[in-house]
Amino acid sequence: MKIVIAPDSFKESLSAERTAQAIKKGFKDIFPHANYICLPIADGGEGTVDAMIAATNGKRVELNVTGPQGTSVAAFYGVTGDGQTAVIEMAAASGLMLVEPEQRNPLLATSFGTGELIGHALDVGIRHIILGIGGSATVDGGVGMAQALGFHFYDEHNNELPAGGGGLVSLTRIDRQHHDRRLEACRFEIACDVDNPLTGALGAAAVFGPQKGATHEMVAQLEKGLVNYAAVLGVETGCDINAIIGGGAAGGMGVAAQIFLGGTMKPGIDIIMDAVGMDVALEGANLVITGEGRIDSQTVGGKAPIGVARAAQRHGVPVIGIAGVLGEGSEIVHQHGIDAVFSILPRLAPLSMVLSQGEINLQHCARNIAQVMKLGQVLVD
């Protein structure tokens, strides 16, 4: 029996690699002689760099940049084995995991460090950049990133906007004259796991703001700022900013990446699956196991498990999804190629305990799934 294990990370608990190994360990208790192919994946968020480095025999570049709270943080990006492409995770410089839960405030959080990573890659001669924009702490419309690359954003008094999404409501003018001209010679692929617009009920503030620490009042303030941001950008570019698919990703970085970087949005999972050779691995497979920290109605919007499931469907291979939590609307994934879903939580517990016990709970869940499969074989026989 050939089993392909291709999970994303369990945010704030397990990397994609550790997730894959925990699943394998649980299954091997029951099926010790199966052929296991572990392919840790990502969809543009945490783990994207590691997945691409592993797939291309690349290297990691480490440097200090401005974190989401304006203080220096240790960050990194990857360079592919041929030295031609930089792989940058927005999460490494502007990520939610860089901010303690009680300090999360998207009114103040900045994406400036992401722009610094891009600038460093340009400095070393890179002219093709894959930018993964998942896992951010920001709802600043990508303005911080653009500021780091020489774009200027002014209010009606000709003052530069402060860091964070709270200042967007005061934006009246954008100065492009002094931006880094090397951007024009660089090709950007934007790895994105969602298709949300910038504003509205499905926009950056309403959907993602609460996940980043925004209260109801903060969401309203962020939304007002993003609406103003879209209006100013619309005048400057002649585009309907809210019609940009994925524009609301990463607190509006989806818009900034296209407007200021000239980037092309692609499902991050497609970029990674091509790099790790997913289609080759699926040949002759009997089962695929995928998963991530949360499976819910948003999973079908381009996240990693659905990308894996669609690839498996092309090969006629059944798919099991494992998640830390099964959220509202998780049943919709059955319409997109995931045949069964399981939560790893054995009991109610504080979040800190759930995160710390993720690996052992995942292993036990995988073992139980494998045991049920074995029982099924006995019943059929």
Full pLDDT tens readout for the chain, 381 residues:
999 999 998 888 898 889 999 999 999 999 999 999 999 988 777 788 988 888 788 999 999 999 999 999 999 999 999 999 999 999 999 999 999 999 999 999 999 999 999 999 999 999 999 999 988 999 999 999 999 999 999 999 999 999 999 999 999 999 999 999 999 999 999 998 788 999 999 999 999 999 999 999 999 999 999 999 999 999 999 999 999 999 999 999 999 999 999 999 988 888 889 888 899 999 999 999 999 999 999 898 778 899 999 999 999 999 999 999 999 999 999 999 999 999 999 888 888 888 899 999 999 999 999 999 999 988 876
Residue 360 to residues 13, 16, 21, 340: CA-CA distances in angstroms?
Answer: 11, 15, 11, 21
Alpha-carbon 274 to chain mean position? 17
* Cβ–Cβ < 8 Å for 36, 71: no
* Cβ–Cβ < 8 Å for 13, 45: no
Q: Both tokens of residue 273? A: 């699956």
C-alpha to C-alpha distance for 343 and 325, rounded to whole angstroms: 5
Q: With CA atoms as reference, report the closest residue to 113 among 160, 151, 79, 63.
A: 63
All residues at 6 or more sequence positions from 308 whose CB lies less than 8 Å from its CB, including other chains: 6, 41, 269, 273, 278, 288, 290, 319
- Phi, then psi, of 321 in degrees rounded to 5: -110, 135
Pairing of strands 72-79, 59-66: antiparallel
C-alpha to C-alpha distance for 183 and 263, rounded to whole angstroms: 10
Pairing of strands 264-267, 187-192: parallel
Give the angle subtended at the CA of 53 by the CAs of 47 and 59, to the nearest 5°.
120
Q: Which domains does the chain have, with CATH numbers?
A: 2-39+277-380 (3.40.50.10350), 48-268 (3.90.1510.10)
Per DSSP (E only), the strands in 69-127 are: 72-79, 85-89
Reduce the DSSP state of residue 192 to 3 states and report it. strand
